[in-house]
Amino acid sequence: MSSRHEIKLKGPVIRPERIPAPLFHDLLHIFVEGAQRALRLRVEGRSTARGTQPAWMRSAAQFDLLIEPPSEPGVFRVESRPLRQVLPANLRPGEAPYGLDLAQTAVDLFEEGLEDALAGATDSDTFDEGLVETFSAFARLFEQGVEAIEIVNGRTIPIDTEGVERVIRLRRQIPAPQAVRIAGTLDTIRHSDRVFTLMLESGAVLKGVAERLEPTRMASLFGKQVVVSGMAVFRPSGSVSRIDVEQMQEASAQESALWSRLPRPLRVSLDTRSLRVVQDDRSGLNAIYGQWPGDESEEELVAALEELS
């Protein structure tokens, strides 16, 4: 059964029976790109990657804009089909290590990630930097006269300028990817695109992509202790979202002991704007301007300086 969603725009720019074309273009772009990226994140563990998009992504994330009289100005309805109807069989649970509810749609996944990002959930699995970039584009709608946005699908997701600011701050918090080396058991492999999971000694599970490795090589290591080298991609909280693997080999006992810990970012992003504090009469330069911290008179200070010169 298809899933219906309502998008409600409010503000002086919204008028009966018409909407500015650039505004409508930006709105649709957010939802089209967001649905595609959200679905790819759940299937591959990443919302974006270099190169062309997978052929399945565009069709599986497709939704329809319903042409029907809206109940009020600025209301748009979209309909999307569940993943069990649109996702290729080789990417469905059983083989997909990321877990998917096939009753959901790509638009549902987009909304889940958006809701978490608006709430400032720094350790969520429902979005990554690529999706946060898409969510941040809602700011363009507010720049064009929209004052509030609601997405309705059984529940209402309100979007305002404060929420979008939180999303933008969230993006600044994401640490830069860094080179890592880590050991664990190669627990699952999806051979179609070399997506895998690695179980660490602590029981933690890391997700990864090994596009550069031969499938036969990965298959020979399945279920074994391996050590992988690559780039760790982080969440805003600093926890690992995934590892883009460049090398994988069977691990020795020494390597397993040495590299079994979860990587942490070496450099944490800092929003320098958070360090700025508005000054008043008792803070900043105002607190010291015209003041001398000692008990000496001006004459005593001048005399002391003359003695030192």
> Percentage of residues in the chain with pLDDT exceeding 90?
67
Q: Report how far apart, in Å, the C-alpha atoms of 210 and of each of 49, 189, 234, 248 are.
A: 13, 10, 17, 9
pLDDT, mean over the chain: 88
35-86 residue pLDDT tens: 999 999 998 889 998 888 888 899 999 999 998 776 688 999 999 999 999 9
Contacts of 32 (CB under 8 A, 6+ apart): 61
Question: What's the pLDDT band for 278 if we cut at 50, 70, 90?
Answer: low
Which of residues 89 and 177 earns the better pLDDT score? 177
Question: What's the pLDDT band for 256 if we cut at 50, 70, 90?
Answer: very high
Q: Number of helices and strands (H, E) in the chain?
A: 10, 10
Task: Judge contact between 76 and 6, C-beta under 8 A.
Answer: yes
Backbone angles phi, psi at 37, to 5 degrees: -70, -40
CA distance 31 to 62: 10
pLDDT surpassing 60 at residue 11: yes
Across residues 248-254, what is the average pLDDT? 95
Q: Which of 263, 127, 116, 114 is nearest to 183 (CA)?
A: 263
pLDDT surpassing 70 at residue 239: yes
Task: Judge contact between 29 and 7, C-beta under 8 A.
Answer: no
pLDDT surpassing 90 at residue 259: yes
Residue intervals of the chain classified under CATH 2.40.50.140 are 178-258
144-196 residue pLDDT tens: 999 999 999 989 999 999 999 999 999 999 999 999 999 999 998 887 778 89
Q: Which fold has domain 178-258?
A: OB fold (Dihydrolipoamide Acetyltransferase, E2P) (2.40.50)
pLDDT at 170: 95
Across residues 12-29, what is the average pLDDT? 94
pLDDT at 302: 77
pLDDT at 95: 47
CB neighbours (10 Å) of residue 123? 11
pTM greater than 0.85 (yes/no): no
